[in-house]
Structure 1
Amino acid sequence: MKPKDEGKIDEIYTATLALVKEQGLAGITMSQIARKAGFATGTVYIYFANKDELIVKLFDKCINDYTRDHFAGYDPSAPFKVAFHTIWMNMLRYSIEHFHEMVFIEQCFHSPFISEATRKATKDRLLPWRELIERGKKEKLIKQVDASWIMLFVRGSVRDLVKHCAYHQLKITNEFRETMFEMCWDGIRD
């Protein structure tokens, strides 16, 4: 049996991400994905048994990349605001550089394609961030609310900032990044 071509898998993933951004997760079909990738529909079925399998595998890849990038350069022993800044900037950078993936993750997370076990595993991958938030609460640097709400507030503000800038072709300068970080920081600090 001929080995699967990883390049074709990447092309299928790229086509899927573009279609999800253009028309949403629910409405796309395997034939649309194949057409967007420039393949015959049967080629996509060589790599994925069905749309559900494709979506789940692509979600896993995107989440792995997202969580890896989330903690790039993160030092849990750094002062709280420094560590928080690192994670926030990583979230922003990933969301800008991987906009299609961010949209895909957002649409998938609460969809029927993703199992409860996968949702829990995704949350578990973000445990270092939750632990940082708990540390900030313990040090009385941030608001004393459940860490999930703080994480939701931060993720939501980054995601909406990036979406607004992407859809309106606004440039995100380093100065703007820092201003937005300080606004987010002001929103969670005690």
Structure 2
Amino acid sequence: MAQISRAGAVNIEYGHFPVGELWEPGFERRDDDPDPRASEAVVVTPGRIIVRSRVQQHTAPVVLALGNQQGQTPGAGWELLASVAYRPVYTGRMAAFDTTNGPARSADEPVRVFGQQVGPGEPTIDLDPSHTYDVQVWAQGRSDSRERFDEALPGADAERASGFEAYLIVFTPSGAQQPPSPATRESRRDRLTRSHGRPPLNSR
């Protein structure tokens, strides 16, 4: 692996969480929401990859990785959930996020991927915005996570639930693109001219 993030923990609500690109000043903000009727386990929108969990509300470890070749299996217990394509829309700084509360926190324990123990910390990696990427989303524990959740916490506080699923998102370069660039900063004179059809009196 070219780069592996630290192990974070996402607080999942409404059965999904995003892995998204951090917005940078000067870029047009991309906030496209996925189709709520979509049934795919992984959905891509500009600037975000949405992963759907089988458990409505819980906390799950997440690791991000930048690969240098396709087909690398992360290890025992990991199952490939989906393969999708991603194009950076800002500067390529990717992070895992809670569903509603901002960036993921540090995980409580290490996560084993690609033969190494990944310690707790921030789940972030840096993509090259001049590349496009194939993304593989791997999961642990997902096949029976809902059933184990229902058995373990009947009537309990779901916000404290953890240990039912873990996720690994691997980005591998697949091609090239024109890197996104920030918009040219507009001067006050140009902004007023655009708004009123002519420049201000004191600048004609």
Per the shorter chain, which TM-score range? under 0.3
Tell me which structure has the larger Cα radius of gyration: 2
Q: Report the TM-score when normalising by structure 2.
A: 0.23
* Structure with more contact order per residue of length (Cα contacts < 8 Å, sep ≥ 6): 2
TM-score under structure 1 length normalisation: 0.24
Which protein is richer in strand relative to its size? 2
Name the structure with the higher helix share.
Answer: 1
